[in-house]
Structure 1
């Protein structure tokens, strides 16, 4: 291919020509940061821009990415086994930096270390970790996968950095293998296995023969914790409060009860709500408060406690206290000497009895009681008009202690001002002299007032 015309002219003053085809005069961005490290951006050739082509080139000889000048004088022939010795014939050498060739290439090794425990039954804790090796800059990170309910701070144990091997050396990929010990900052890690990508990379690219993988040992402390709790075989008669709390926490049965005390003097029919707490077999009784009942606001008749069947009961004898199996819709219970009738329950209580005791829904139907007629007052009767003022004034004296003027609809009065409906009527009477009498009935739309007038 012939050189361009402007390149053949001698480079002398006055013989330099500008490329008229150039349209972009911006300076390219050459510096940047990647993973917190300052790097120089490299513009790859056209044939190395694809990731597959770049990985194939970098994987053939990784030593070229570490800056050894003697490897830069060899050419790469695709399809013929990689790099070949000898000077290149008419082809300029290419150098691909490590941060480009090995970008996102991470090797993962599974390891563990033992943490000594002082003043405890167990001697050590076995903590499993993952060692991540970043090939692009030989940095290492140690991460511990979190274990639920371990009680130990877990996550990133050693952040990504170059790990010192001695005072003058750092760890490289050649120091890694299976079934070996690695010491990072005074802590010894035992490498037991790796993933398939790491194994293939170590054997094909680094040409290292890996040792046989070792099984990950079990942690005796985690084994003791995961062991199921052995339940006692003998029945001691004690209640397992922890089990009741875990199974029945926030589970409450609700019954609607009535107490009929109308046989006594000034007695009445009163409504109550009974709550039964399954977590500790306690009962709470609350009164249904109604407005204007004339009673002090003390809604709790019985605070949360175990309800005895008889007033004089031994506290250690649980059979003498009410249990949820003793309750049914329609049964009568004794609440501190008062006979309560359970007339209804909520939907959750019905489902609970159906699931645990097989009680059908028709057996838990509510009992109808005419409570409103038994206790509720009748409708208020409006007294007749007393003749003072208007009808609204007389009605206001019955509703309010302090009289208030009746409210008027001013919009209606403005819209219907001077609008009057007139009707002619005659009197129906058994007297003959009244049959020919005529009247005029006037209805005012502004204030709904009526006037009856008999013309002369």
Structure 2
């Protein structure tokens, strides 16, 4: 028996009651239109307006329906046939993943670059999981490029694993055979393949650039030439135009010195100077054409560059305040270039015309420098061969000893060399019981020193003598100090009638060169010649060129250097720098060939 669930009235079979409250017996719509589009819609009421009851089943019924496997009418369903087998070399043939990467390479022993960025392409072959690394070839790079790593399965770690496409992504580092590559980008096919396999790709990065390659791409010249000075215009205007000056270097006041002729060339194209030697027939000198190579000549050095080691290093722009220019080379005036004073006595016609047009100087003189016969000098020596002989007298303050050295004179018959070894000299008219020796106060300009019956007249002194006398003025009379000061002043500023000759002479340097030459001849077979320079260089680790006196004499003693010899002692005195330093650069020159 059926009953009405709403009213609870029983129904007899074949009979029912009409519900007068129901008026709509149509089926509810399952489609709806929104903004012109058909949208699916789930009805909430059924026929007659009755509300549909959804999910009235229990949880147990729902679980049974979810787990029940329906059977077909004709038995168990047949499984679908397996898909056809496709090998990897067919399925992934010519499918390659491409990644762009770079690695950093150190560049040792290079002043232009410290490291190098090399860009590569990493290829992953899906058919056999092999990889290769190829560097694009750059023309004129000078680096072996192309295939860096041939195609193979690349090891990932020490456990035997190999790299898989799942290990590759943008923005990561991978290490292959000890070299680290940073992946920055991949192509479109690689991106679509990895995303289809569920791999989330990192954002792309910019490729790193090689700094040295970018530097070479810059233009060579990035400066603007000032309008008031144009080197190219100077070169094109003064090409092959050279000022020629004839000069003389009078070095007769120093040991082994003489008067020598030179030609000074001033190149207008780049303001460089060249000094050439003038050789005469049978002059006995090696035919070297140049005294000084073509270069820029410094005129005024900075204050800190006065003690600059010019014999070792080259002078740069930081040590020079002013360079020599064409207006500094005037005929009739002395000119000091790198310690040598040249007297310019003439020039060629082109130079005269240049000075007339450029500087308005039209009266450049021509000075006759021919050797004139010297007037006879009253002979005071009883020996005629002593006429004109010159000597270098040294007084040693530590021991009150005197040594005399005679410069050799060419074609005079006088050999020269050591005239008197280091010894104390007794003044004349002193008694044997109470001898009086010469002291520092006895050596002044014009003083007569009698040495064992020979009289020597002091005519000149070096700068150290003046400094010593001024610092020890109490030992000298005011007249003696004033005489040497006036003499030094006259030597630096000569009289007008002597301006046609050289005025500044580096006598100390010439004495040193002559002494070194004499010692070289005397000690040419000495056994200490081979190791003396190395011994000083081992001690002087900073290569300053100076060692203290204690270390100096220890090294000389270990090499059996004859420091007690008078010439060696004189050389040590001339190489001394202050009270506790010795310049061994000049000292070892006396023991080298």
The TM tier, using the shorter chain, reads 0.3 to 0.5
TM-score (norm 1): 0.33
Of structures 1 and 2, the larger Rg is shown by 2
